[in-house]
Each structure stands twice: as C-alpha cells, then as structure tokens.
Amino acid sequence: MTTRRNLLVTAMAVLCYPTLGRAAPAAGMTPEAEAEALAWVKANARTFSEDPEPHELADAAKALAGAQVIGIGEASHGSHEDRLFKASLIRALIERGQARIIALECNFLPGRALDHYVQTGEGDPTKLMRANGFFEIWQCEEMLDLITWARAWNLAGKPAVSIIGVDCQAVGRDADFALTWVAEHDKATAAAKRDELALVVGPDVRTKRIDVVVGGLSADQMQAQIAATKGLVDFLKAQSRWAALPGYDDAISAARAAHQGLVAFELETKGAPAPADVSYYARRDQFMADNLLARSGAVPAVYWAHNGHVVPALGLFGSGETCGGYLRRALGKAYRSVIFEYDRATLFAKATPPRAPAPPSSQPMQRLERPSFPGTLGSALSVLGFECFWVDLTSPPDTAALRAWMAHPYRHDWPGSALVDGELDPDSPDVALAGRVDLLVFFRQVSPARFLPFVKTA
C-alpha cells in the first residue's frame, strides 16, 4: 500500500535531484578533487567538546551573523549529540542577540503552552511537554534543558525570548481552541461553527493523529471541513471589535493552523488516489515557513527541525520545496542553515521495512545501529580523523576542487522517527552542499537521544 511516508521520501528525492535514481557525479569530482576539498575542510574545521558550552560556539554563531532566520537541523529524530549542539548553539545565538524567538517544529498549542512557561514560570515544563500534542520525538532532556534555560534567561530580565510552534498537524485541537475562544464572546456563532466542524473537533476525534482523522473522511467531507475552517479564519479576521482582546491573535493563529492542516492532507481521504504532483507534499513545509515568518515578523529567530525541513531546496526543482527552501525564497541570504552529518550511529527510531506503512504510534522506539554507509557524506568526512567539528561553508575558496565537492550530490542518512534497520533507505536523498548548507556539523558517532522516562522506548 502506498503511504504518505513512502510518497514523502519519493518527493524528497525529486526535490533533491532532478530525476529519480542516483544522481550523476558533478563534473570534476574526481578522487583527487575530493581529497583536495577535504584537506580544506580539515584545515578549517573547528572542533568542540562533548557537551559544548555556548562560549565554545561563539565563532559558529558569529559565522551566522546577519541572518533573520537560522534553520538548525538534526541528522535524525533519535540522536543525542546533534540536539545537544543545536541547543547550545541556540543559547549562543540568544546571548549574542542574534535570536529572540525559538520556532519549533511542533504544533501551535504546545508551542503556546511552552511560551507561557518561559514568560511566566507557570506550570511544569515536563508536564507541558506531555500535553497538548507535543511530538514524542521532542520529549527529551535536550529540549527540556533548553526550555528551562530560556525561562531562567527571561527571569533574569534579559531581552525576552519567546517560543512558537509553527507546524499544522493538530487540526482538531487547534480548531477547538479557536472555537472555545469565540464562544467567550459570541456563543451562538461558536456553536454553529462547532457543528460545521464536528468531524474534526468532536470529543472522540480531536486528539487523534491527523492521518487517522483525515483517513476517516470522504473527499466531500474533507472539502466541507476545509471550507468550515476557512470560514472560521475569515470570521475571526472580520471581528475588528475583538482585536484588542487577550487571546484574539492566538485564536486566529489556531484557526489558521487548523485550516492549513486540512489543506496539507487534503488528498489523503478514504479511497483517494495518490496525488499526481509530488509538490503536494510540500504544503506542510510551506505552511511552516508562512507561520514562522508571520509570527516572528522582524524579530530574529531560530528554527528547530529535522535536516530534511531545514535544508533549502532553493526552488531548483519545480514547485516542491522544503521549509528551508521557502524561507530562502522569502529571505535570501538572511536565511541560513545548520546541517548535521554523522558516520555511525546508535539512535532511537521505529524499525520499518523498506517502503512499508508508517509504524503505529503505539510502537515503541528502540535502539538501532547505523553502520558507516559508503557513499554518504558522513563516511567521506570520517577520514579527516575528528570526533566532531563544524565548518563554515558560506564562502569557501573558489577553486575547481571545492566547487566540484560542494556540487557533488552525496548520499545522506537522515532518518526520521522510523527507519529501515541495518541498511540505507533506498529512497534516501542525494543532496549537494552548494547553496544549501551554511554551517556543516559532523560527528563520527552519535548516541541515542535522552528521551524522558514517559516516552515509549524498548
């Protein structure tokens, strides 16, 4: 059976190189050119400690100066070292005044709850991470430490840091939040609109995963729910008399996220055929970029997400793009990306056969070994002899060898929460560095993420 996961990796392949199948090596990428380029990387690599403090990464932050949004990826959803580095880099960026907003690849409501904590200190951040649909993959010590650090920063009276969630995969929760706010000011309208949205906000469906909710709708029902969420957004925007009321902007943001989530999954209803254009699967990334830009305004932000969302596609491959690609389109060089690579790994994920349906949410994550896969960028970087390093790729010397190396479509092992155990996913993308990676961070070996005790692991 074709699943969204399968089509997503196929879409990623199309985004990352023009034709399906392995991309041909860039002209001039000989073993000699690779050796020369890697010698430059070795000479310019900056090492860091196992648990880097922000002051260690001051030069890395400086290399990203001038950015409006900095996308900071991670090589997998279940590894520790890349998350530890990115949390420390975020602290360094905040301390240097280069970031004031932490935008998370999470839905609106958990982002709102965590922001309330860092602003007021109210609530238990661990409990907040368990509530409101905060993704299981982020329920880890590395995230918890960053959130409590942000609270301490704000408590000290320093320039305030905010948290926002930019994803749109919680249609029922978001629509319910917006309708509950409307009911405080117009009960009749809220009741009518709640009836229109009963298929997604009903108590038996609103907390279910979006794929489960959408998979239970017919095409006609989906179109009706899309129209109803759009109507809710339009209604709220038209209520100028409410504009000064507390929570008004949040209600609009929640209603907008609910509408986006339905549009992002529009063609995955019962019996729906596979979308004819893979750019359909870029809708969620575009919405995340739109939300980040709309809610951050001119305030500098960092964007915490997976490498596959952070790396910019630059519009080179038709209409399908990553979130980073949309941000690069909007901001140009004011969007910078930090991408992680590793050679070997032990990480948490859900094992799945190639091109199989996505594992159920009830399946626990387990520790899985990732060997060194020949042909990957991580394998190539391992010959340099460093345990870990970062290197600034924004302006490498203009030599034939470095041009060829930067343009070479290396393979990448960037698993999400599910992976093919023991082998590289056959749909794993080939991605060139040129124009896509501003700061490259490498680890010879990564270990499992430090998930909190209540996360299901085996």
pLDDT tens-place string over residues 91-145: 999 999 999 999 999 999 999 999 999 999 999 999 999 988 999 999 999 999 9
> How confident is the model over 362-388, as a mean pLDDT?
95
Cβ atoms of residues 52 and 388 within 8 Å: no
176 & 142 share domain: no
As a whole number of angstroms, the distance between CA 224 and CA 262 comes to 10
Q: How confident is the model at residue 22 (pLDDT cuts 50, 70, 90)?
A: very low
As a whole number of angstroms, the distance between CA 289 and CA 324 comes to 8
Residue 420 lies in a domain: yes
216 & 319 share domain: no
Which of the 8 DSSP states describes residue 20?
S
Mean pLDDT of the chain: 91
* Domain count for the chain: 2
- Number of Cα atoms under 13 Å in the Cβ half of residue 426: 9
Tell me whether residue 234 is exposed, middle or buried, using C-beta atoms within 10 angstroms of its C-beta: 0 to 12, 13 to 18, 19 or more.
exposed
- Flag whether pLDDT at 277 surpasses 90: no
343 & 364 share domain: yes
Using one digit for the tens of pLDDT, what is the confidence trace for 190-248?
999 999 999 999 999 999 999 999 999 999 999 999 999 999 999 999 999 999 999 99
The 3 state secondary structure assigned to 46-100 is ECCCCCCCHHHHHHHHHHCCCCCEEEECCCCCCECHHHHHHHHHHHHHHHCCCCC
31 & 135 share domain: yes
341 & 413 share domain: yes
440 & 296 share domain: yes
Which domain range does residue 320 map to?
4-163+283-446
> 47 Cβ partners below 8 Å, 6+ apart?
386, 387, 388, 389
299 & 403 share domain: yes
Domain of 28: which CATH number?
3.40.1660.10
Residue 451 lies in a domain: no
- Domain end position, chosen among 241, 266, 291: 266
Residue 456 lies in a domain: no
315 & 385 share domain: yes
Q: Which residues pair with 376 in a beta bridge?
A: 411
- Domain end position, chosen among 238, 266, 294: 266
pLDDT of residue 427: 66
Which alpha helices (DSSP H) does 265-362 contain, by range? Answer: 283-296, 307-310, 323-331
As a whole number of angstroms, the distance between CA 292 and CA 313 comes to 17
As a whole number of angstroms, the distance between CA 154 and CA 197 comes to 38
The type of residue at 340 is F
pLDDT of residue 116: 98
Q: How confident is the model at residue 430 (pLDDT cuts 50, 70, 90)?
A: confident
Residue 276 lies in a domain: no
As a whole number of angstroms, the distance between CA 206 and CA 213 comes to 8
Residue 260 lies in a domain: yes
Q: What percent of the chain has pLDDT over 90?
A: 81
247 & 317 share domain: no
339 & 220 share domain: no
Q: Which of 103-112, 124-133, 328-337, 350-359 shows the lowest mean pLDDT across its residues? A: 350-359
Q: Which residues pair with 168 in a beta bridge?
A: none
291 & 154 share domain: yes
> Residue 5 is inside which H or E element, if any?
helix 4-16
Which of the 8 DSSP states describes residue 320?
-
As a whole number of angstroms, the distance between CA 135 and CA 155 comes to 26
β-bridge pairing 69-72 and 301-304: parallel
- Flag whether pLDDT at 317 surpasses 80: no
Residue 275 lies in a domain: no
As a whole number of angstroms, the distance between CA 120 and CA 128 comes to 14
Q: How confident is the model at residue 4 (pLDDT cuts 50, 70, 90)?
A: low
Cβ atoms of residues 89 and 71 within 8 Å: no
- Domain end position, chosen among 240, 266, 292: 266
- Flag whether pLDDT at 282 surpasses 50: yes
pLDDT of residue 15: 43
Residue 138: helix, strand or coil by DSSP? helix
Residue 88 lies in a domain: yes
Report angle CA 31, 34, 36 to the nearest 5 degrees: 110
- Between 7 and 432, residue with greater pLDDT: 432
342 & 240 share domain: no
Residue 105 in tokens: 């690849």
Residue 301 lies in a domain: yes
Q: How confident is the model at residue 314 (pLDDT cuts 50, 70, 90)?
A: low
pLDDT of residue 71: 98
